[in-house]
Amino acid sequence: MNREDFIPDEIWVTGEDGFFLVPLRRDEDRQRWLELCRSDRAITIQVEDGTDRYDGKGIVPTSSSSAPWVMDRMFDILDVRAGMNILEIGAGTGYNAALLAERTRTGQVTTMEIDRAIADHARAALRRTGHPVTVITGDGVRGYPEHAPYDRLVATAAASTVPYAWIEQTRPGGRIVLPYVGTFEGALLALAVDADGTAQGRFHGEAGFMRLRNQRTDPHVWWLGEDDADVRTTRRYLDEPLNDFEAGFAVGTWLSDCTNGQIDEGGPAKTLLLSHADSQSWASLTAGTDEHEVTQYGPRRLWDELETAYDWWVAVGRPPCTRFGLTVTCDGQVFWLDRPTQVIPSR
């Protein structure tokens, strides 16, 4: 089975300006199209949710064929066996569902896709290649109870909050593998479902995926009420959580509901930004020579929270993401370090 059997004739690549994504069509450059299909790279198959916001170009990728190497890693963690009942969230091209169908052989594979055009493409590709996969057009956050309970559930879209419907629809002893995404960094997460309706498990290293559509980052509120913001100075230019994976992941377990950004000032230092849309809070750190300016607005003091989270991470020995875990219940989710009883302090 070849990945090119599932890739649409039009894919998206970075244009010459290095900013916009532009279409690459199979009939116009078949050699390059085929090289990308046979590479170990992710391939963007949709931008801007299929709208034409930028006159034939795009900025935001909204659907892709995942890199084969990362899917191999996810499938190894998932531990698929013959005869299993599997739900995939995020059909994309249909290629991953086909791989699951080959692994489970006599079992059942259901894949969900929220975008109708993408779902139609996956359905046609799976039918054409002879893979008995059920493709459902719908919101994967809700799962698909009609085929539950599942032995395995895998998501190819990142979640900041694990939908409890996924736990409800996975049988006790079953496994859920998904890319988790926090404020700064994302990582693979493997959860084991217990008979009491909870699920818990560890993170398995760095992974970057597009978010579930209804868990996309809220618009930032930077500079809102700037004239009323609180300003202080600091000698500490704390940029490690924004530029180092392990630091960013750890701090993100404290500030999991924020967005971040950086403004390049043309030198070695940048203005660093945090935002929490729900509370209309934001913070910035603007670099100076010896002292730097911290500006904070809203009921949350986001930069203070960042410093507290970072200092905690350093104090406990700068643990990597593989020492972190997550427990999900009907009441929400909590992060822990090393063992479920060692819950990470909340903000």
Is the preceding peptide bond at 149 cis, omega within 30 degrees of 0?
A: yes
The residue annotated as part of the active site, out of 63, 64, 65, 66, is: 66
CA 221 to chain centre: 22
Q: Which residue has the tokens 């009323």?
A: 228
DSSP 129-196: TT--EEEEES-GGG--GGGPSEEEEEESSBBSS--HHHHHTEEEEEEEEEEEE-SS-EEEEEEEE-TT
Kindly state the tokens that stand for 153: 């559930």
Has 66 been annotated as catalytic?
yes
Neighbours of 267 (CB within 10 A): 7
Gap between the Cα atoms of 303 and 305, Å rounded: 5
Q: Give the distance, in angstroms, between the CA of residue 103 and the centroid of all CA atoms in the same chain.
A: 25
Phi and psi, residue 310, nearest 5°: -65, -45
Is residue 116 within 8 Å of 104, Cβ to Cβ?
no
Residues carrying an active site annotation: 66
